[in-house]
């Protein structure tokens, strides 16, 4: 057991534990989207969970930091907030915020983060860019809404955990990156129909069960 100080609060944790996980467990909220505590290696892609460490000159993503004895952590300094706000604004600038039509309304991570960080759901600083649909999503049971997806990769992770090998993957590159499923032939519709882990893991309802009609 080691002791660390987060925002002036003394916390006990296992040495080497994930800092983000430790903070969340102790009810110190750090914005995050792509992290799940079942991940062996953090994805570190959403760039929201920044914190400041006493011995580092710049903010670092807390999901990548193993806890050490005597660590001094600040979660709400201006540089941290600035990076978090920019990251969220960037995500929102390509997110079609039609909250009333969205199943995630009121329990959406983006809404929660926007409130916490004081960011408008339609940021003024950034022009809205619609993301193209990418290659046709051919999954027989699951629908994918490109304009909602934040590409956190949680769905890929949970699918891999569930089935040993993920039926979902990132496709295309750069700005055009999307989540795609393996061709229907390679899917096992029985498993997909029963599992729904990816749909449950999606923080923004970008993955939905297809309307049978």
By beta-carbon proximity to another protein, the closer residue of 79 and 103 is 79
Q: For 105-116, give the DSSP string.
A: TTS-HHHHHHHH
Question: What span, in angstroms and rounded, lies between the C-alpha atoms of 26 and 115?
Answer: 21
Q: Closest approach of Cβ 46 to another protein, in Å? A: 6
The window from 16-24, 77-85, 99-107, 196-204 that contacts another protein (CB under 8 A) reads 77-85
Nearer to another protein, 93 or 205 (CB): 93
Query: Applying CB under 8 A, does 129 fall inside the site for another protein?
Result: yes
- Determine which residue in the list 99, 172, 194, 209 makes contact with another protein, applying CB under 8 A: 172
Give least dist CB 115 to another protein, A: 19
Q: Which of 101, 124, 127, 165 binds another protein (CB under 8 A)?
A: 127
E strands present in 117-210: 142-144, 168-171, 178-181, 207-209
Q: How far is the CB of 165 from another protein (least distance, A)?
A: 12
Q: How far is the CB of 142 from another protein (least distance, A)?
A: 20
Q: Which residues contact 20 (CB under 8 A, 6 or more apart)?
A: 30, 32, 35, 42, 49, 61, 62, 63, 65
Per-residue binding letters, 85-124, with another protein (x by CB under 8 A): -xx--xx-xx------------------------------
Counting Cα atoms < 13 Å in the Cβ hemisphere of 45 gives 13
Other C-beta atoms closer than 10 Å to the C-beta of 189 total 11
Site for another protein contains 46 (CB under 8 A): yes
| Beta carbon nearer to another protein, 141 or 167 | 167
Q: What residues form DSSP beta bridges with 168?
A: 181
Report the alpha-carbon angle 125-128-130, nearest 5: 160
Between CA 55 and CA 61, with CA 58 as vertex, the angle to 5 degrees is 95
Residues that bind another protein in the complex, under the rule CB under 8 A: 41-48, 50, 58-59, 61, 64, 79, 82-83, 86-87, 90-91, 93-94, 125-127, 129, 151, 169-170, 172-177
């Amino acid at each position: 057991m080691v002791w660390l100080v987060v925002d002036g609060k003394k916390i006990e944790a296992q040495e080497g534990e994930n800092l983000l996980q430790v903070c969340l467990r102790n009810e110190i909220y750090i914005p995050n989207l792509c992290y799940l505590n079942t991940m062996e290696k953090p994805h570190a892609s959403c760039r929201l969970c920044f914190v400041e460490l006493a011995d580092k000159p710049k903010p670092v993503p807390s999901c990548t930091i193993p806890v050490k004895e005597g660590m001094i952590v600040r979660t709400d300094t201006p540089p941290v907030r600035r990076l978090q706000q920019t990251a969220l604004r960037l995500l929102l600038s390509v997110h079609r915020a039609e909250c009333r039509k969205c199943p995630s309304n009121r329990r959406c991570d983006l809404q929660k983060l926007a409130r916490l960080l004081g960011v408008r759901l339609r940021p003024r600083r950034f022009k809205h860019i619609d993301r193209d649909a990418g290659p046709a999503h051919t999954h027989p049971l699951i629908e994918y809404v490109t304009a909602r997806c934040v590409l956190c990769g949680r769905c890929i992770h949970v699918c891999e955990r569930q089935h040993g090998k993920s039926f979902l993957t990132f496709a295309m590159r750069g700005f055009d990156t999307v989540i795609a499923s393996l061709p229907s032939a390679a899917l096992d519709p029985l498993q997909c129909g029963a599992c729904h882990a990816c749909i449950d893991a999606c923080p923004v309802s970008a993955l939905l069960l297809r309307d049978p009609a």
